[in-house]
Amino acid sequence: MKVSYPLRETADLKEIKESLKPFGGRCAKIVEGTLEYQIKEEQESAAYEALKDKGYIA
């Protein structure tokens, strides 16, 4: 499934990709201040919480 979330600030895409690896996230990219990536539906909420805890997304 493809998801997108608004970024809080300019973030390092490499760090974000590393954060998504344990959850199986892939194809991460930043488009006009929005983080977009693909992830399996069952891992989506865990990945969201991890990114939120690290301060990447609102």
Burial class (CB in 10 A: 0-12, 13-18, 19+), 20: buried
The per-residue pLDDT for 58 is 79
Please report, for the chain, the start and end positions of each structural domain, with discontinuous segments joined by +. Answer: 2-53
- Asked if residue 37 lies in contact with residue 57, where contact means CB atoms within 8 angstroms, the answer is no
What's the pLDDT tens digit per position in 4-33?
A: 999 987 778 999 999 999 999 999 999 998
State pTM to two decimals: 0.85
